[in-house]
Amino acid sequence: MKKVIYIKPDANIHGVYRPINVNAPIVGETTLSGLKNPPPLSLYIHIPWCVKKCPYCDFNSHESKQAIPEKRYVAALIKDLEQSIPRVYGRKIKSVFFGGGTPSLFSAASIDEILSAVRMLTPLDYGAEITLEANPGTVDTAHFSGYKQAGVNRVSLGIQSFNADYLKALGRIHNDKQAIAAAELALKTFERVNLDVMYALPNQTLEHALQDAKQAVALNPDHLSFYHLTLEPNTPFHRTPPSLPNDDVSADMQEQIETLLHDNGYEHYETSAFCKPNSHARHNLNYWQFGDYLGIGAGAHSKLSFHDKITRETRHKNPKAFMENAEAGNATDNIWTIAQADLGFEFMMNTLRLTNGFEKSLFQNRTGLPWDAVSMRIAKALNKGLITQDLQKISPTLLGQRYLNNLLEIFLN
């Protein structure tokens, strides 16, 4: 029996970062003595509608059976941002990410209106990375040029596969030809493009998974994300599972895709992320380095640091409820302080996804806790061969990367 690789992609393909213990009970405020400076701040903007719900998808996305209330939603997003400003006042926004759902369902004029409001209300950093997720079935030249004029400088395309049969099995609205056409159009319009591809698809062979990877590499984007398809609870695929490749075949797919990408100049820098030199996804990297993010829009999550606490926030998931509450001045559904006892795990859950790991000093900078708070658990992970350390850095070994869930369990209270 070969090793089993099963890692839930927490930083999911649509940009919404979902902490594992988001439903943890609200705990009283902690007093952090060591948090000297706020971490870099990113802005996540959620657009919650799709043309059709895919059977494997558990994101907060809703099939648009009627006309999307685009204007009202844009106004609600801006209200949400206005209401959030006191909690991020004066802090520069380093990156912006439009995720969903399908943000490319929105017009360029709406994206422009949202970004104009971001510039008016916050000190958006000069040269900030501004990414928009697009569905190959919903893009055209006019949309892409309009997004670029609005300030979007990076596009993330949900390709998933270049094979018509697998796209059909995944319930996607685009076909193989549209996948390639959308990627070529994105690459013609934007310097920075990510392609999301999945493997271990229903009845997929190793050869077909590699064909998808070769096609992705042939297009030559600066960034690629490869995700193992997982059966998430409360999805049609979970209720009626399709026939999936077994663990051995999935592990072979992962290994051979990683080798292919490496041989073609892509650095494997995070569990599922690969990039050409200096082309890391800065927005996602901020999540993985336990940076701060303000998430606005239906169901969006935030993590914000203050001198005495680190908080998480959620918005109302249902788009209608979100709009009504944002209009009433109450966009935020829930705010809670991360318990001090959970900070070590939360930090590791993000940073150990990075193949190069993290500088030890980052732990105190981002959690406000002394290194002692995790040193016993670090020793345990070292003993098991799941991480390595030198004077400055902690990095997951290949074993730690392959068995990330086991590594993280060591830090779980």
Pairwise CA distance, residues 412 & 348, whole Å: 9
Q: Pick from 324, 303, 323: which is nearest to 314 by CA?
A: 303
Neighbours of 365 (CB within 10 A): 16
One symbol per residue from 56 to 95: x for binding ligand SF4 (CB under 6 A), - otherwise; what is it?
-x-x-x----------------------------------
Cβ atoms of residues 73 and 43 within 8 Å: no
One symbol per residue from 97 to 116: x for binding ligand SF4 (CB under 6 A), - otherwise; what is it?
---xxx--------------
Among 16, 50, 130, 294, binds ligand SF4 (CB under 6 A): 50
Element (H, E) at 319: helix 319-327
User: Applying CB under 6 A, what is the total number of residues that bind ligand SF4?
Assistant: 12
82-88: long-range contacts, CB 8 A cutoff, minimum separation 24: 82/121, 83/326, 83/329, 83/330, 83/331, 83/332, 84/294, 84/296, 84/302, 84/331, 84/332, 85/121, 85/122, 87/294, 87/304, 88/41, 88/122, 88/292, 88/294, 88/304
- Closer Cβ to ligand SF4, 40 or 100, answer by number: 100
One symbol per residue from 123 to 162: x for binding ligand SF4 (CB under 6 A), - otherwise; what is it?
------------x----------------------x----
Give me the least distance between CB of 291 and ligand SF4, in Å please: 24
Q: Segment contacting ligand SF4 (CB under 6 A): 47-55, 112-120, 174-182, 361-369? A: 47-55
- Closer Cβ to ligand SF4, 35 or 216, answer by number: 216
Pairwise CA distance, residues 129 & 111, whole Å: 15
Pairwise CA distance, residues 214 & 270, whole Å: 20
- Closer Cβ to ligand SF4, 173 or 181, answer by number: 173
Give me the least distance between CB of 21 and ligand SF4, in Å please: 23
Give me the least distance between CB of 300 and ligand SF4, in Å please: 14
Q: Would you tell me which residues interact with ligand SF4 (CB under 6 A)?
A: 14, 50, 53-54, 57, 59, 61, 100-102, 135, 158
